[in-house]
Structure 1
Amino acid sequence: MSRSYALPFLTLPDDVVGFDQWLIGDPGDPLFPISMQLDAWDYARDLQLDAQLDLDFDAAAKALGTTEGEDLRLAIVVNVGTGNGRFARRMEPVFEKVIEAPLTEPMTISLPIDSRDLSGRLMVRLEILLAESLASDNPLAPRVAGSRLWSNSTNLHLEDGGDARFPMEVLSFKQTFHGQRQVDAPWYLHMRPVSPEADFTGSVRLYVNADHEIFAERVSKGDSSTLQAMLGDVMIQMCRAALEDEETWDILKDCEEGSVGCQITSWLELAFPGMSAEDVHGLMTTTPGAFHAALISIADMGDAE
């Protein structure tokens, strides 16, 4: 079954919201851009999160279909989650500020994160919500307080925090896959056609072609663009396989930690927050480019040190 997917009201485009990325590090030390994994973390290590957000208020009002003279109040909200597993099990609000006039300078958001509140994974979700109900003649304008107008999510794995890395192996395709179609590919995802409830590490393996020496070296050195392209492709393949089978939609949300379905669910939750599997399927069908780009975006590993 295919269906068209459309948002129920106007939202804020990215060019109206000035947000680059979160910076993370140890309190009192220089911070660095956040990625998908923080190495050498332990349960005694506090963290610091900083970001700057700008907002073109007049452009925001226009994008939301409001007219001059209407009262527009927007809430900037940050929720932080933690917990072992593929994604955060608990989300709590840690920052909120209501904006009702243009910002004279970018807003600074500074969040200390106590180590005792961390475990395995750190998810940070930045949202812009409608702070008060809005009356408008535009049928597509958001009206209900709390409507999500824009969001940005980051899901950070805390190394040694109770999770496992993606199963990956570097080998010669000419020797291993001689005469097969994937012999000249820079990477190859081997995924058994099993149930989403199957063990992830036992069902999935990513092979990197050692015959592509420059590419394999970039992977070994942790080149961020190379890893993002490769892992983004892996996410696309696995998520598409799950979403193309309607019978798996209800199974995904009930899959246990460490399963194929749990990993796919975490990627979908991060790339498409608040959307059901059916809605993501609609997006994948009607605008596959946007679907692919969203998954590639969350595959950003950050710059290697």
Structure 2
Amino acid sequence: MTASFALPFLTLPDEVVGFRDWLIGDPEEPLFHISRQLDAWDYARDLQLDTRLDLDLTAAAASLQIPANQLKLAVVVAIGSGTGRFARRMERVCTKVICAPLDAPLGIRFPVDSRNLSGRLLVRLEILLAEDVAPGADLSPRLAGSRLWSDTSNVHLEDGGDTRFPLEVLSFHRAFPGQRQETAPWYLHWRPGSMQADFTGSVRLYVNADHEALTQRVSEGDPVTLQAILGDVMVQMCRGVLEDDEAREAISDCEEGSVGSQVAGWLEMSFPGMKPDEIRGLMTATPGAFHAALHASADMGASE
């Protein structure tokens, strides 16, 4: 289970969900357990994803302190892809509502068209409250859409495009002596401007090698550290674009691989269905919720 923050209500433990990991492979061929890299992938190679849940609805009701006859759960699968550290877009591919005990494991199986893939494949499995429930225990979830459990798998597609965020580790004491960022743990070098500029050529993230513990966690791929750093990058760049009237209007027309395209992808992933002007309003009215949503989207799952 991937938890990016402490929820203010009861959630489902892993043993109640009974998730069996994803299987991935070529359609009509034997599947294998998903890992952090899929070798020998190309744009002509379609994929198949398969998993099963031993979801115990009775135990779920007890865990949530909700009467079993009132509990409806929605099992939702969304996939994303795109070059860069983050998926450029997310698409819901499966929703199943569970309102009665299962006689057999819940099977989830669907194809992934190669035309929709680039760079990486992000698979997010969530269990949500499907309907509002009457007030019960103080910590019971009540509102439809409350996230009760989630798992995220992030797969690097070999030869599927540049999947590296432009990052460099260096000593700030040597690189920026006497400057404001000299003792900062990281520093995003980015000048707001043309949304059509190449993302990897105009954006660079520096990590301060003088902070040895931080550098070690980054090199080891510590998921919480990376989420904090990359979430901060998303906040900086999304705020910069949303506060600029011209940039805010331009991002929807930017080509893939550009700064505007990357920011548009982050906004869609964090605030699905909302227009840039609406997101700007949220950013102004509730900046804490705006920042938290972007940081939550920066969660790419625990490393193996």
Q: Normalising TM by the smaller chain, what interval?
A: 0.5 to 0.7
- Aligned residue for 1:196, secondary structure, equals coil
Whether the aligned pair in 2 keeps the contact of 1:49 and 1:111 (CA below 8 Å) is yes
Alignment partner, residue 228 of structure 1? 227
Alignment partner, residue 195 of structure 2? 196
Q: Which runs of 5+ in 1 are unaligned?
A: 1-12, 63-68, 135-147
Whether the aligned pair in 2 keeps the contact of 1:81 and 1:89 (CA below 8 Å) is yes
Alignment partner, residue 286 of structure 1? 285
Aligned counterparts of 1:205 and 1:77: Cα–Cα separation in 2? 35
Whether the aligned pair in 2 keeps the contact of 1:88 and 1:122 (CA below 8 Å) is no
Aligned counterparts of 1:110 and 1:104: Cα–Cα separation in 2? 14
C-alpha deviation, 1:111, in angstroms:
2.5
Tell me which amino acid in the other structure corresponds to 2:187: Y
Aligned counterparts of 1:192 and 1:285: Cα–Cα separation in 2? 22
Asked whether 1:111 is paired with 2:109, we answer: yes
1:35-64 Cα deviation digits (max 9, x unpaired): xx7464623584535375788789x9x9xx
Whether the aligned pair in 2 keeps the contact of 1:80 and 1:91 (CA below 8 Å) is yes
Asked whether 1:268 is paired with 2:267, we answer: yes
Asked whether 1:185 is paired with 2:179, we answer: no
Matches within 5 A, 1:1-305: 15=10, 23-26=21-24, 28-31=31-34, 38=37, 40=39, 42-43=41-42, 46=47, 48-50=49-51, 52=53, 78=77, 80=79, 87=87, 91=91, 93=93, 95-99=94-98, 101-103=99-101, 108-113=106-111, 116=114, 119-120=117-118, 121-122=120-121, 124=123, 149=145, 158-305=157-304
C-alpha deviation, 1:293, in angstroms:
1.7
- Aligned residue for 1:274, secondary structure, equals coil
What TM-score do you get using the length of structure 2 for normalisation?
A: 0.67
Tell me which amino acid in the other structure corresponds to 1:108: L
Whether the aligned pair in 2 keeps the contact of 1:239 and 1:264 (CA below 8 Å) is yes
Aligned counterparts of 1:84 and 1:149: Cα–Cα separation in 2? 29
- Aligned residue for 1:184, secondary structure, equals coil
Whether the aligned pair in 2 keeps the contact of 1:123 and 1:153 (CA below 8 Å) is no
Change over 3 Å in CA distance of 1:209–1:15 after alignment to 2: same
Aligned counterparts of 1:214 and 1:282: Cα–Cα separation in 2? 38
Tell me which amino acid in the other structure corresponds to 2:207: V
Q: Which runs of 5+ in 2 are unaligned?
A: 1-7, 26-30, 132-143
C-alpha deviation, 1:92, in angstroms:
7.2
Aligned counterparts of 1:170 and 1:83: Cα–Cα separation in 2? 24
Change over 3 Å in CA distance of 1:77–1:24 after alignment to 2: closer
Whether the aligned pair in 2 keeps the contact of 1:83 and 1:90 (CA below 8 Å) is no
C-alpha deviation, 1:115, in angstroms:
7.2
Whether the aligned pair in 1 keeps the contact of 2:241 and 2:247 (CA below 8 Å) is yes
Change over 3 Å in CA distance of 1:83–1:247 after alignment to 2: closer
C-alpha deviation, 1:248, in angstroms:
2.0
1:131-185 Cα deviation digits (max 9, x unpaired): 9xx9xxxxxxxxxxxxx94688968653421244110111111111000011011
Deviates further, 73-82 or 295-304: 73-82
Number of aligned pairs?
272
Tell me which amino acid in the other structure corresponds to 1:178: P
Aligned counterparts of 2:203 and 2:162: Cα–Cα separation in 1? 16
Tell me which amino acid in the other structure corresponds to 2:265: S
Change over 3 Å in CA distance of 1:39–1:226 after alignment to 2: farther
Give the aligned CA root-mean-square deviation in angstroms: 4.5
Deviates further, 37-46 or 251-260: 37-46
C-alpha deviation, 1:82, in angstroms:
5.4
Change over 3 Å in CA distance of 1:129–1:203 after alignment to 2: same
% identical aligned pairs: 49
C-alpha deviation, 1:96, in angstroms:
4.1
